[in-house]
Amino acid sequence: MRLHRISAHINYIGVNDRTTERFETLWPLPHGVSYNSYLVTGSDKTAIIDGVEVSHALQQIDAIKSVLGDRNPDYLIINHMEPDHSGAIRILRQAFPELTIVGNVQTLAMVKGFYGVADNFLTVKDGDTLSLGDVTLRFALTPMVHWPETMMTYFEEEKTLLSGDAFGCFGALNGAVVDKDMDTTPYFPEMIRYYSNIVGKYGQFVQRAMAKLKDITVETICSTHGPVWQAELSRVIDLYDRLSRYEPLDRGVTIVYGSMYGNTERMVEATADALVEAGVRNISVHNAAKSDLSYILADLFTHAGVIFASPTYSDSVFPPVAAALDAAVLRGLKNREVAVIGEFTWAPMAAKKIGAAIEASEMNLISDPITAKHAPDADILDKCRALATALAEKIKA
């Protein structure tokens, strides 16, 4: 087994998962995912920082033994209890019976609740430190990033933040672990998708965590998913800051539509054409019945403008469009300019319900919906083009 040394005191002991098809059984993993774990060795003691998913436990134990030889690790520090990081706890405890589990009050209650382990705990509070000899670890509680027990561990001497899920992304690691040793281009779209899918609802808590950490110097971020960040550190922090403030990343438009017989789709195509004529270059068009919600959310978090277009279905919104709308509202998406297009045969309920949902959110509905009865005629298509021009002006402003 090749050892990945991040520094004189930190070894990577995580694993790749290229088999699981959907993270949390929801989000596609076309490029896999890593479960990152780290072994910090001090002059006196050693600490594992976060675990791995249970099916990879033996691989993690082999990595620990490759670093420590006959010496046993002293601590398991749990920054996050979600089972993709904590699933191996019982196996780790069996392999290393004297292992002390370190976490905050909520963490340790979850260890007992999930795994029935209830002894040899060390409870830490916000700002507490743990000495490994020539290594000092300081704990920062960051609740709801994105579970209530989440915390981060700061290695003071090396200015390294072991951040839990924060600053993480989808995508397995392809040989290298540290960003300077790889092409990081594929990981940034996967960071946006990871954030919008998993963390998106908790922007205010991410902002609180970042404010708590603003006075410390960070030169390395070791997340529990994706690369270790050094060379791209400022870009990663800036991206998380903007995403957690619900700030659009560009002046593009996401169109989310459903169409049973092509009439709504005709309106969408006319609108997309007009957006281009109005100077919008980044346009993502999603047929919600085919596009995975994971990618729709990533684009909703990316672009400044949004169009929801739906036929009326059972007196309501076409279900795949409703699912995307509900997911955006659930995540508290705001600072978006939104237009609505509807199509109906006898009752224009889809447009009304989408409009009401947007008005109740912190997104901005730029005008009354454009609706077509039966099929769009030339006048309706002209109105769609005018709507696109108005939306383009809004997002450019």
On whether both 175 and 297 belong to a single domain, the answer is no
On whether both 228 and 284 belong to a single domain, the answer is no
Question: Which amino acid, one-letter code, is at 140?
Answer: A
Across residues 375-379, what is the average pLDDT? 97
On whether both 141 and 239 belong to a single domain, the answer is yes
Asked whether residue 120 is domain-assigned, the answer is yes
Q: How far apart are CA 174 and CA 197, in angstroms?
A: 23
Task: Share the mean pLDDT of the chain.
Answer: 97
User: Which residue range forms the structural domain that includes residue 309?
Assistant: 254-392
Tokens of 21: 């098809």
Neighbours of 377 (CB within 10 A): 10
Q: Pick from 290, 368, 364, 358: which is nearest to 325 by CA? A: 358
DSSP string, 230-270: STTHHHHHHHHHHHHTT--SEEEEEEEE--SSSHHHHHHHH
On whether both 319 and 340 belong to a single domain, the answer is yes
On whether both 94 and 223 belong to a single domain, the answer is yes
On whether both 104 and 229 belong to a single domain, the answer is yes
Contacts of residue 390, defined as CB under 8 A and 6 or more positions apart, other chains included, come to 339, 366, 367
Last residue of a domain, one of 210, 244, 278: 244
396 and 337 Cβ atoms separated by less than 8 Å? no
Contacts of residue 57, defined as CB under 8 A and 6 or more positions apart, other chains included, come to 51, 87, 88, 91, 92
On whether both 209 and 264 belong to a single domain, the answer is no
Q: Which residues of 83-110 are buried (b: 16+ CB within 10 A; e: fewer)?
A: ebbbbbbbbbbebbeebbbbbbeebbeb
Question: Model confidence over 323-345: pLDDT tens digits?
Answer: 999 999 999 999 999 999 999 99
DSSP string, 29-70: -TT-EEE--EEEE-SS-EEEES---GGGHHHHHHHHHHHHTT
Which CATH number fits the domain that encloses residue 34?
Answer: 3.60.15.10
Asked whether residue 52 is domain-assigned, the answer is yes
Last residue of a domain, one of 181, 215, 244: 244
Question: Model confidence over 36-95: pLDDT tens digits?
Answer: 999 999 999 999 999 999 999 999 999 999 999 999 999 999 999 999 999 999 999 999
344 and 241 Cβ atoms separated by less than 8 Å? no
DSSP string, 283-304: EEEEETTTS-HHHHHHHHHHEE
Q: At what angle do helices 319-330 and 349-359 cross, to 10 degrees?
A: 0
On whether both 224 and 283 belong to a single domain, the answer is no
Asked whether residue 249 is domain-assigned, the answer is no
Asked whether residue 397 is domain-assigned, the answer is no
Tokens of 368: 């009354």
Asked whether residue 224 is domain-assigned, the answer is yes
Q: How far apart are CA 275 and CA 261, in angstroms?
A: 23
Burial of 2 (0-12, 13-18, 19+ CB in 10 A): exposed
Question: Model confidence over 59-76: pLDDT tens digits?
Answer: 999 999 999 999 999 999
On whether both 157 and 260 belong to a single domain, the answer is no
Question: Model confidence over 93-134: pLDDT tens digits?
Answer: 999 999 999 999 999 999 999 999 999 999 999 999 999 999
Residue 162 has pLDDT above 90, yes or no: yes
On whether both 194 and 277 belong to a single domain, the answer is no
Residue 150 has pLDDT above 60, yes or no: yes
pLDDT for res 397: 85
Asked whether residue 281 is domain-assigned, the answer is yes
CA distance to 124, 187, 216, per residue, from 143 (Å): 14, 25, 19
Asked whether residue 174 is domain-assigned, the answer is yes
On whether both 227 and 355 belong to a single domain, the answer is no
On whether both 81 and 131 belong to a single domain, the answer is yes
pLDDT for res 64: 97
Contacts of residue 188, defined as CB under 8 A and 6 or more positions apart, other chains included, come to 169, 235, 239
Asked whether residue 23 is domain-assigned, the answer is yes
Across residues 239-254, what is the average pLDDT? 98
Residue 3 has pLDDT above 80, yes or no: no
Question: Model confidence over 166-204: pLDDT tens digits?
Answer: 999 999 999 999 999 999 999 999 999 999 999 999 999
Which CATH number fits the domain that encloses residue 321?
Answer: 3.40.50.360
Last residue of a domain, one of 244, 277, 298: 244
**Band of pLDDT at residue 2, cut at 50, 70 and 90:** low
Question: Model confidence over 272-316: pLDDT tens digits?
Answer: 999 999 999 999 999 999 999 999 999 999 999 999 999 999 999
- For the chain, the domain total comes to 2
